[in-house]
A and B are shown apart, each in its own frame.
Chain A
Amino acid sequence: MTTLTLGKALNAGMRRALAADEKVVLMGEDIGTLGGVFRVTDGLKAEFGAHRVVDTPLSEAGIVGTAVGLAYKGFRPLVEIQFDGFVYPAFDQLVTQVAKLHYRSRGTVRMPLTIRVPFGGGIGAAEHHSESPEAYFAHTAGLRVVACSNPADAYVMIQQAIASDDPVLFLEPKRRYHVKGEVDETASLADAKPMGVASVVASGTDVTLVTYGALVQTAHDAAIAASEDGVSIEVIDLRSLAPVDYATVEASVRRTGRLVITHEAGQQGGVGAELAASVTERCFEFLEAAPVRVTGHDIPYPPAKLERHHLPDLDRILDGVDRVLGRPNSLSGVEA
């Protein structure tokens, strides 16, 4: 075991993938000489060369579009989008090409791209640097969407995403890049938990609390706080947002009868909406209460000094837990 930050764990995972397969190429803005604005690709250009770790012109559509061509040629491109809010210029290539080419070509053209996107807020950044665009991509057939939350998962999941023959939008919780954890760099990828499988990060019996990315730690903290109040919360790190591991979520909800979903993204049409609907369809008879969503507001991401009024935090999550338990809460007495 090695102690690594989440950012260094990603770096180690990419290094291993670059070493294992010469068709893996990294592309992005400032990823080479600088090592990325978050230093996640630090040292990789020096180690593998400018043809494996490619500093590109400033064009997200260009990066993803040329990566499509490289995939046609048999490469396995790993693309970095510098910030979540910069993914939109590449949206067309992602949705009309990356997601659909395998289908369009009747399975003859594979698109084993991984698109790394640092996502989410909490770092006091300028506009367009704190977004949570996952629902757009989870809605897009042909893409897989995953989010890591800790160094150990980051190390394994980035390699699994690169190895996947399907395109993977890989979300990295940027405010947790510097959080440290134990990483087993010797473990075999074959034995690792598939990235499509969710993790139960805390066991509990009263409420199932589902989240992903940076909020996994917050949810975990909320569970500890709630336990002091006699409420037992099971925390699930979804890891894969498309497809969702409903087996794990369902098994938990069948025991707890109560579901709270929390994410930084807005509520309207979000991952939580889909999760609430699907869990309700699949295990309605086990539910003791309607699922509750604790999300960012349906607003443009606010200025830094307001972001704490936007992002779900421990107290807002616990308020949601109170709602699903029918305990006094912020909406007590308010008509639904």
Chain B
Amino acid sequence: MTPSDRDATGLLTRPDHFVQLVSPAGERRADAEFDPWVADVDAAALGRLYRDMAIVRRLDAEATALQRQGELGLWPPLAGQEAAQIGSARALRDDDFVFTSYREHAVAWCRGVGPAELLTVWRGSAASGWDPFERGIAVPQIIIGAQALHATGYAMGLTWEGSDAATIAYFGDGATSEGDVNEALVFAASFDAPVVFFCQNNQWAISEPVGLQSKQPLARRADGFGMPGIRVDGNDVLAVLAATRIALDRARRGEGPTFIEAVTYRLGPHTTADDPKRYRTDDELAEWQARDPLTRVLTLLATTGIDADALEREVAEEANRAAAELRAAVTTIPDPEPMSVFDHVYAEPNSHLARQRDHYARYLAMFDDADAAASGAEGGAR
């Protein structure tokens, strides 16, 4: 793609252009470039996006509660990032493939990941909760930014197979400093890989502000890699949907990668082990709460003649039911069998591990024998 072609797409990085279709106050803002991409989103469809966001917010709160009650070892809350995750995930096709970090519970939920599947890894019961190929979403990535390369490689494979599917790589503002993300941008650009780099700039990488990662809007970096960068209000589900649809369309037409910076905010802690009061102010939090992604959609819906109060109540009930299901699901997650600690290290038989496994089985069996002897003694059988 030549620079003049890129001009034609209207997607040259314009850091001053902040794509926003619904203002924090719930006003619909016209945008000639982005509006056509969400022309099909009528009030009912917007209501469905609201429903998605409300449910995942409720599930997220329930998971935090489950962690506080000792049912989960850890939980990285998504609160505040619902629009960024729902808007982007709802732009995807089933045959697209998703690579995420560890906070994209809403994306996983959109891909059909069930409650127990979602919580398994955070309960510490297994290394992952779902079959990536069944759900079209890779298992969560803890190493910051590593998945950007995986999404790029998968996308390269898609083009070699002649597919028009695409991949999307989710990562945060902190990850943009990682070599892996930068190398992924290089590879994706060089090979015109059909990948969407979806950066949720939630302002904080644990305690480090985004200003420590970048002196300029992150979307500006895209131009240096030779791809369009879009800076979008990440708390505006409609704008995120439009931006992701544009990026996916480019990918499917063989025009290569797009970088989206979704400007959002992590309302909660980095994880349940974090205390954000140590590094940010209540004022800042209040400022972002005023830009809540859910409230603005309800306000907008009310202007379309929809009974927003009724919708809110109805969705809240549904969300409560989903939360109850999540809570019930956590207890259905089986505790792992001790010997499963050796499972799946290798796909093929491995003599070294087989021996280690055998030795540990013998060690564990000693306790079985001791238990048997003890219960025998209690029963007076000796």
Fill in one digit per residue for A72-103: 1 if any B CB lies within 8 Å of its CB, else 0: 11110000000000000100110011000111
Whether the Cβ atoms of B347 and A96 lie closer than 8 Å is: no
> What are 5 A-B pairs with beta-carbon distances under 8 A?
A73-B161, A101-B139, A105-B139, A106-B343, A144-B346
Q: How far is the CB of A69 from chain B (nearest CB, A)?
A: 2
Q: Tell me whether A43 is interfacial, beta carbon within 8 Å.
A: no
Q: Which residues of A contact B (CB under 8 A)?
A: 25, 51, 56-57, 59, 61-62, 64-75, 89, 92-93, 96-97, 101-112, 141-142, 144, 164-166, 196, 242-246
Whether the Cβ atoms of A67 and B348 lie closer than 8 Å is: no
- Taken together as a complex, chains A and B put the C-alpha atoms of A50 and B156 apart, in Å, by 12
Whether the Cβ atoms of B348 and A106 lie closer than 8 Å is: no
- Taken together as a complex, chains A and B put the C-alpha atoms of A89 and B183 apart, in Å, by 11
Which of the listed residues A65, A105, A112 has the most CB atoms from chain B within 10 Å of its own CB? A65
Known: A74-B157, A107-B344. A65 touches B149 (CB 8 A): yes
Inter-chain contact total with CB atoms closer than 8 Å: 140
A106 / chain B contacts, CB cutoff of 8 Å: 126-128, 343-344
Whether the Cβ atoms of B346 and A65 lie closer than 8 Å is: no
Give the 8 A-B residue pairs with the shortest CB-CB distance, closest first: A69-B153, A65-B149, A66-B153, A243-B352, A73-B157, A62-B183, A165-B347, A69-B154
B154 / chain A contacts, CB cutoff of 8 Å: 69-70, 72-73
Q: Tell me whether B151 is interfacial, beta carbon within 8 Å.
A: yes
Q: How far is the CB of A9 from chain B (nearest CB, A)?
A: 24
Whether the Cβ atoms of B347 and A102 lie closer than 8 Å is: yes
Interface size class, chain B: 35 or more
Q: How far is the CB of B113 from chain A (nearest CB, A)?
A: 14
Q: Which of A51, A57, A109, A166 contacts B348 (CB 8 A)?
A: A166
Whether the Cβ atoms of A93 and B155 lie closer than 8 Å is: no
- Taken together as a complex, chains A and B put the C-alpha atoms of A267 and B150 apart, in Å, by 35
A51 / chain B contacts, CB cutoff of 8 Å: 160
- Taken together as a complex, chains A and B put the C-alpha atoms of A105 and B344 apart, in Å, by 8
Fill in one digit per residue for B127-171: 1 if any A CB lies within 8 Å of its CB, else 0: 110011100001100010010111111111110110000010000
CB nearest to B179 among chain A residues: A61
Give me 17 other A-B pairs in contact (C-beta within 8 A), A70-B154, A93-B149 excluded. A56-B187, A61-B179, A62-B184, A65-B146, A66-B149, A66-B152, A69-B99, A69-B167, A72-B97, A72-B150, A73-B161, A103-B127, A107-B343, A108-B133, A109-B139, A165-B348, A166-B346
